[in-house]
Structure 1
Amino acid sequence: MIAIEHKAHCVLATVAGEFTLADYREFEENVLYELRFHGKPNLLLDLTEMLGYTLDVVWEEIRFTREHATDFGCIAIVTTDQWTTWATWLARLFVESEVQVFENGRQAEAWLLENTPVPG
């Protein structure tokens, strides 16, 4: 299950339980909406309540990230899982964004808001 919020040119997504392909596609739609109407969005993925993910999510994430490698602002990943942290650092090779891993969602959101470009 995924919950998504738009805030100050950021897409904030929280995953609980199993992260499915339908969840990831909902995330993609929200990111593309923000990109189309407001420019490069900052992204926050809170994975602290994620129990697992399906293999098709991995392939879709690779495809989407490669297709949009220059389309994101900063990316914050919230997790306490070492494997997820390792995978996040590996994924940095495919995007031209600053990526940070946090253990606390409030700190991650504050970092993104600090790095949100001011319109004008």
Structure 2
Amino acid sequence: MTIARHGLSIGIERFGEEFFLSLKAVGKLTHADYEVISPMVDSALAQVPSPRVKVLFDATELLGWELRAAWDDLRLGLRHGSEFEKVAIYGNRHWQEVAAKIGSWFVGGEVRYFENLQQALSWLQQE
């Protein structure tokens, strides 16, 4: 019997109108994951008139999305894309780099793919 690991962790830090959002996905993301994460992001950003968001998405253990979850991800990006200044995707698979390029079409800020966590964090901290 094979046990499939699955999970999503989220951290939201606020500094005035700036937010740092950290996400780590394990396994395949589901619609149920977005039913949890979307209201959290919506609620946090609704408290500030013009939020500026930097995101670190750890995709090193991400295996993909269910179709409905991919749609949820797109909707979240469309809803808050103009608020995202920088999105660093930390991964280890070529398809994740391609997904980062596609994701950049729906985000007002920069989206970059990294295979090194420290480089991703350094880039996010740059002004």
TM-score, normalising length from structure 2?
Answer: 0.77
For structure 1, the residue ranges without an aligned partner over 5 or more in a row are 116-120
SS at 1:69's partner residue? helix
* Partner residue in 1 for 2:21: 11
Contact 1:15 1:49 in 2 (8 A): yes
* Partner residue in 2 for 1:25: 35
Percent sequence identity is 30
CA distance in 1, matches of 2:56, 2:37: 11
Name the structure where strand makes up a greater proportion of residues.
Answer: 2
Summarize deviations over 1:27-47 as a string: whole Å, max 9, x none.
Answer: 323322332235222111111
Cα distance 1:84–1:90, how it changes in 2: closer, same or farther (>3 A)? same
Which residue, out of 102, 107, 110, partners 2:119? 107
Q: How many residues align?
A: 115
Higher relative contact order (CA 8 A, sep 6+): 1
Bigger Rg, structure 1 or 2: 2
Summarize deviations over 1:65-86 as a string: whole Å, max 9, x none.
Answer: 2232312121111112111211
Stretches of 4+ aligned residues off by more than 4 angstroms: none
Aligned residue type for 1:114: Q
For structure 2, the residue ranges without an aligned partner over 5 or more in a row are 1-6
* Partner residue in 2 for 1:2: 8
SS at 1:96's partner residue? coil
* Partner residue in 1 for 2:52: 40
Cα distance 1:30–1:104, how it changes in 2: closer, same or farther (>3 A)? farther
